[in-house]
Structure 1
Amino acid sequence: MDADRGDGEAREARRKRPEVWRPGSAEDEDVELEYDESAYDALHAFSHEWPCLSLDVMRDDLGEGREVFPHEMTIVTGTQAMEATKNVLSVIRVSRIKKTRRDADADEDMEASDSDDDEDGGSDAPTLTVASVVHHGCVNRLRAMPQRPSTCASWSDSGHVMIWDLSAQLKKVMTSTNDSKGKIDPPSRVTPTQVFTGHKDEGYALDWSSVCEGRLASGDCAGAIHTWDMVQGKWDVGATPYTGHYSSVEDIQWSPTERDVFISCSADQTVCVWDTRQRAKPALRVKTHDSDVNVLSWNRLANSMVATGADDGSLRIWDLRNFNETNAQFVANFTFHRAAVTSVDWAPFDSAMLASSSADNTVCVWDLAVERDAEEEAAALAAKDNAAPPEDLPPQLMFVHQGLKDPKEIKWHRQIPGACVTTAADGFNIFKAYNVGPAVP
Structure 2
Amino acid sequence: MEEDHTLAYDPTAYNCLVAFSAEWPCLSFDLLKDDSGDRRETFPHTMYLAAGTQAASPGENGVIVLKLNGISKGRHGEQDKPKADGMDEDDSDDASSSSSDEEEQDAQALYSRTTTHFGCVNRIRSMPQQPSILATSGDSAIVQVWDMGRHLQELDPLTPTSVKGGAQEHGSLRVSPRHAHRHSQEGYALDWSRMVQGQLASGDTAAQILIHVPKEGGRWDVTAPYVGHTKSVEDIQWSPNEPTVFATCSSDRSICVWDTREKSKCMISIQNAHGGDVNVITWRPLVSHMIASGGDEGLLKVWDLRQFDKGKHIANFAHHRSAITAVEWSPFEAAMLCTGSEDGTVGIWDLSVERDPEEEAQMGQMQQSTPKDLPPQLMFIHAGQTDIKEVHWHPQIPGMVVSTAREGFNAFKPSNI
Q: TM-score with structure 2 length normalisation?
A: 0.92
- Out of 178, 183, 197, the position equivalent to 1:193 is 178
Aligned AA (1:291): G
| Change over 3 Å in CA distance of 1:159–1:85 after alignment to 2 | same
Deviations 1:381-407 (A, max 9, x none): 222xx2432232111110110001111
- Out of 311, 325, 329, the position equivalent to 2:312 is 329
Matches within 5 A, 1:37-56: 37-56=11-30
Instruction: Indicate the residue corresponding to 1:104 in structure 2.
Output: 80
SS at match of 1:164: strand
Structure 2: where are the runs of 5+ without partners? 83-91
Instruction: Indicate the residue corresponding to 1:417 in structure 2.
Output: 398
Q: CA–CA distance in 2 between the matches of 1:109 and 1:372?
A: 42
SS at match of 2:188: strand
Instruction: Indicate the residue corresponding to 1:16 in structure 2.
Output: none
Instruction: Indicate the residue corresponding to 1:303 in structure 2.
Output: 288
Q: CA–CA distance in 2 between the matches of 1:310 and 1:50?
A: 27
Cα offset, 1:129, TM superposition:
0.9
| Change over 3 Å in CA distance of 1:174–1:285 after alignment to 2 | same
Cα offset, 1:113, TM superposition:
8.6
Deviations 1:162-206 (A, max 9, x none): 000000111111111433674534422211111112x10000000
| Change over 3 Å in CA distance of 1:315–1:78 after alignment to 2 | same
Instruction: Indicate the residue corresponding to 2:119 in structure 1.
Output: 137
- Out of 110, 120, 128, the position equivalent to 1:128 is 110
SS at match of 1:200: coil
**Dislocated runs of 4+, deviation >3 Å:** 31-34, 105-118, 180-186
Q: CA–CA distance in 1 between the matches of 2:114 and 2:298?
A: 34
Contact 1:89 1:133 in 2 (8 A): yes
Aligned AA (1:92): L
Cα offset, 1:233, TM superposition:
3.9
Contact 1:98 1:124 in 2 (8 A): no
SS at match of 1:38: helix
Q: CA–CA distance in 1 between the matches of 2:41 and 2:94?
A: 18
Aligned AA (1:66): R
- Out of 196, 208, 212, the position equivalent to 2:196 is 212
* 1:426 correspondence with 2:407: yes
Structure 1: where are the runs of 5+ without partners? 1-20, 437-441
Deviations 1:283-340 (A, max 9, x none): 112121121000000000011110000011111000111111xx31101111111111
Moved more, 144-153 or 275-284: 275-284
* 1:389 correspondence with 2:374: no
SS at match of 1:171: helix
Contact 1:44 1:126 in 2 (8 A): no
Cα offset, 1:52, TM superposition:
1.1
Matches within 5 A, 1:216-255: 216-255=200-239
Moved more, 184-193 or 407-416: 184-193
Q: CA–CA distance in 1 between the matches of 2:106 and 2:298?
A: 36
| Change over 3 Å in CA distance of 1:375–1:85 after alignment to 2 | same
- Out of 339, 354, 357, the position equivalent to 2:340 is 357
Instruction: Indicate the residue corresponding to 2:86 in structure 1.
Output: none
- Out of 359, 367, 372, the position equivalent to 1:376 is 359
Question: How many pairs align?
Answer: 402
Q: CA–CA distance in 1 between the matches of 2:352 and 2:325?
A: 23
- Out of 233, 237, 246, the position equivalent to 1:262 is 246
Cα offset, 1:89, TM superposition:
1.1
The percent identity for this pair of structures is 47
Deviations 1:205-262 (A, max 9, x none): 0000111110110000000010012112433333411111000000000000010000
SS at match of 1:85: helix
SS at match of 1:155: strand
Q: CA–CA distance in 2 between the matches of 1:411 and 1:37?
A: 21
Deviations 1:404-428 (A, max 9, x none): 1111000000110000000001110
Matches within 5 A, 1:391-406: 391-406=372-387
- Out of 243, 258, 264, the position equivalent to 1:274 is 258
Q: CA–CA distance in 2 between the matches of 1:32 and 1:49?
A: 29
* 1:407 correspondence with 2:383: no
Aligned AA (2:52): G
SS at match of 2:46: strand
Q: CA–CA distance in 2 between the matches of 1:131 and 1:41?
A: 29
Contact 1:37 1:100 in 2 (8 A): no
Q: CA–CA distance in 2 between the matches of 1:110 and 1:223?
A: 60
Cα offset, 1:143, TM superposition:
0.2
Deviations 1:259-279 (A, max 9, x none): 000000000000110000111
